Chain A
Amino acid sequence: MLSKRIIPCLDVRDGKLTKGIKFKGNVDIGDPVEMAAFYYDEGADELVFYDITASYERREIMIETVRRVAERIFIPFSVGGGIRTVEDMRLVLLAGAEKVSINSAAVRDPDLIAKGASAFGSQAIVLGMDVKSVKPSERIPTGYEIVIDGGRTFTGLDALAWAKEGERLGAGEICLNSIDADGTQKGYELNLTKLIATHVNIPVIASGGAGSIHHIYDVFAEGLADAALVASITHYGTHTVKQIKSYLHEKGIKVRMRW
């Protein structure tokens, strides 16, 4: 059967990691390629790069980073941030990424999902969803609303309805980020994860809130996620990917233990 995936997420700006990540005797590593190689050796199942480069003209730097990463690691990785057109997708995929992730751009132009899926296949298109809790209403029956622009703009879209629409349009996977849980280190939003994971027939990657190794177990056992995104918990050396996987394995969650 399929293994549950552990996916470290790296934020990149102008070709450098935004947070100088410290591990292994406090060596500060700013190069995304070195960091990718480190996680590859540690047994990460996949990687996510999130490009927060502000200016469009400097995006060529990100493409170069993707190319260098693809020469060093041989597991799937996706790239998100600033992808607005099919041509943007093409450049990233040709540089060696397996998948692209689209978020705000998909809300503004849902057809982008369909166009991307038809050009590159559904397996290459990840729908990123940022979600905030709101009071349930007629428009937002689940009480989970889609937000964009880094959480600043409410869209009036119900998270479950949008997930189903994304699947219908051809997204191959959903990366579900709870804005409420993000950065709290108090655990993933389990209700939201379970709601989406049980109502779509594409894999759901849970994101936001992992603070301990138990949270990761919970998001698989209770949230029924297919994969878990991790950031601070592995970047700052609280746990290694290998420790997380050994723990999950002991608790009976199927994970990839040989790499």
Chain B
Amino acid sequence: MIAIIDYRAGNLTSVQRALAFLGQDSVITSSPGEILAADRVIFPGVGAAGTAMFDLKRLNLDTALLEAYGQGKPILGICLGTQIVLERSEENQTRCLGIIKGEVLRFPESICEQEGRRLKIPHMGWNRVNLIREHPLFSGIDPQSEFYFVHSYYPAPKEKRDVLGETFYGISFASVLALENLAAVQFHPEKSGRPGLRLLGNFCMWDGKDHA
């Protein structure tokens, strides 16, 4: 059973629908007990970091997540969920979970295209991920594949080895993070067509070991 953590941060039904399409049972839950009993955990989220952390703590889900991570359960962060695994976010000056060292920054207003035109924020639409190393999560996915992004803040991990993939949008940023049994993607695999479904499917088979 896969637990999709519900901390009132956006619509989680699309993640569940994608898992159902893949034939995977999942439960949307705010119960720490259910999360600790699950085989694997998905940590999604849309919204602002400040409110998200507030709700996570209020529901005691911050400790549940850290405990699930400590147990070695495969965990997948998506979008805001990915940002929250870092130490702090510039958004609402929020102290986050700190599983991965580093912070979350806002795209600078000055980012430009090659022709000099200002890039729009949020970074919204389809973009590529340049994999830095192999990982079971991306097994069988064509490197030219694109994924659907919607965000104004991006992860900036401190340690290079925690970065699994990078994406370019005026600047190069870490769009995929991986540390032990945790993998975290800034894009929305549940909205990224077949490559996204493949990634979710890979996560469902993953033993939680990073073979790097």
Contact = CB atoms under 8 A, between A and B. Distances in A.
Chain A CB within 10 Å, residue with most, of B120, B126, B194: B126
Interface in B157-212: 168-169, 190-197
B108 interface: no
Q: Could you tell me the dominant secondary structure of chain A's interface residues? A: loop
Given A75-B148, A96-B14, A40 B193 contact: yes
Interface residues of B, number: 37
B131 interface: no
Nearest to B9: A121
Contacts of B37: none
B13 interface: yes
Contacts of B124: 2, 123, 172-173, 203
A3 B197 contact: no
Interface string B64-78: 000000000000000
Interface string A98-115: 100000000000000000
Contact of B150 (A40, A123, A201): A123
B144 interface: yes
Interface string A67-79: 0001100111000
Interface of A: 1-3, 5, 40, 45, 70-71, 74-76, 93-94, 96, 98, 120-123, 172-173, 198, 201-203, 224, 226-227, 256-259
Interface of B: 10-11, 13-14, 17-18, 20-21, 46-47, 113, 117-118, 120-127, 142, 144-146, 148, 150, 168-169, 190-197
21 contacts: A1-B168, A3-B125, A5-B125, A5-B126, A74-B18, A74-B21, A74-B193, A75-B193, A76-B148, A96-B17, A98-B14, A120-B11, A121-B46, A122-B122, A123-B124, A172-B122, A201-B120, A201-B121, A226-B120, A258-B142, A258-B195
